Amino acid sequence: MIATIQYNSRKLKVNLLQPLDISIPVTGKSTNVNAWCLEPPKIAPEVIDGKTISVAKGAVVNFNTISFNPHSHGTHTETVGHITEKEYSINQHLKQFFFLAEVVTVAPEKLGDDYVISRKQLQFALGNKKREAIVIRTMPNTREKHTRQYSNTNPTYLLEEAANYLKSKGIKHLLIDLPSVDKEQDGGELLAHNAFWNTKGKLRLDATITEFIYVSNKIKDGKYMLNLQIAPFENDSSPSKPILYKIMNK
């Protein structure tokens, strides 16, 4: 199924039958991807009046209760409400769902004891391109990202200068294959979050950050149409399912 999407003055053609899913699902397993020192998510049948509501246990339906944290347990999309006292719901502030995106691959730089993504690296990757979204794949890139336990490992993060650069480029939607755009232990500064959402000026209420994605090595760097799907949670963050589509008439 070929769809034509009007983007500014151009008509872009994408094949909706060839989606490229870059999300990491939430499972009820101990090997579920994890961060921030939380227990794994739980997906289990509800027990009512001593009866387990599961077809395998003799019930007529499956009736699972799910307990998880979107920031810790899989691909999620968040709004500025993640770091502000005032509540800003992702369900209220993400109102459009298709965006022109650039997939870039970055080898993090060593900075002291850390690995970081710098402004210079993103400038090189984006150049003069005008995009609404950026999808950052970090190296090395293996499927271990689906099950990695990130707590107390000091993962790679964005420098404040890099987040400021993306803001200055007009990037509204930042997607990355890490548990956070910020350093795991930074004394609460959250420099990249604050810079990207412009918390010292006019808040970018329509800008989002999506963390814990996984971009297969089969997906080449370049321009794509992004469909950023969320669940309708009235919360600062929601589990999400970002989908890329190749643009056929580049």
Contact between 223 and 56 under an 8 Å Cβ cutoff? The reply is no
CA torsion, ordered 179, 119, 97, 238, to nearest 10 deg: 20
Q: What is the pLDDT of residues 178-233, one digit of tens each?
A: 999 999 999 999 999 999 999 999 999 999 999 999 999 999 999 999 999 999 99
* Percentage, residues of the chain above pLDDT 70: 100
The pLDDT value given to residue 125: 96
Q: Given pLDDT bands bounded at 50, 70 and 90, which one contains residue 9?
A: confident
> Rounded to whole angstroms, how far apart are CA atoms 172 and 194?
14
- Alpha-carbon separation of residue 177 from 3, 151, 213 (angstroms): 28, 15, 4
The mean per-residue pLDDT over the stretch 47-59 comes to: 97
Q: What is the pLDDT of residues 84-114, one digit of tens each?
A: 999 999 999 999 999 999 999 999 999 999 9
The pLDDT value given to residue 212: 98
The mean per-residue pLDDT over the stretch 63-67 comes to: 98
Beta strands in the chain (DSSP E): 2-7, 10-15, 20-21, 42-45, 47-48, 51-52, 64-67, 76-78, 98-106, 109-111, 114-117, 133-138, 157-158, 173-176, 208-211, 222-230, 237-246
The pLDDT value given to residue 167: 98
Q: Identify the three-state secondary structure at position 168.
A: helix
Q: To the nearest whole number, what is the mean pLDDT of the chain?
A: 97
Q: Given pLDDT bands bounded at 50, 70 and 90, which one contains residue 6?
A: confident
Paired strand residues for 11: 6
Q: What is the pLDDT of residues 104-155, one digit of tens each?
A: 999 999 999 999 999 999 999 999 999 999 999 999 999 999 999 999 999 9
pLDDT for residue 246 is more than 90: yes
The pLDDT value given to residue 3: 84
Q: Identify the three-state secondary structure at position 6.
A: strand
The mean per-residue pLDDT over the stretch 160-172 comes to: 98
The pLDDT value given to residue 66: 98
The mean per-residue pLDDT over the stretch 27-48 comes to: 98
The pLDDT value given to residue 49: 96
Q: Which of 159, 236, 178, 130 is nearest to 33 (CA)?
A: 178
The pLDDT value given to residue 237: 98
Q: List the end-to-end C-alpha distance of the chain, in Å, as a whole number.
A: 18
The pLDDT value given to residue 51: 97
For 169, what's the count of Cα atoms within 13 Å in the CB-facing half-sphere?
A: 26
The mean per-residue pLDDT over the stretch 25-48 comes to: 98
pLDDT for residue 250 is more than 80: no
> Rounded to whole angstroms, how far apart are CA atoms 146 and 6?
34
- CATH superfamily of domain region 2-26+70-246: Putative cyclase (3.50.30.50)
CA torsion, ordered 153, 106, 239, 182, to nearest 10 deg: 50
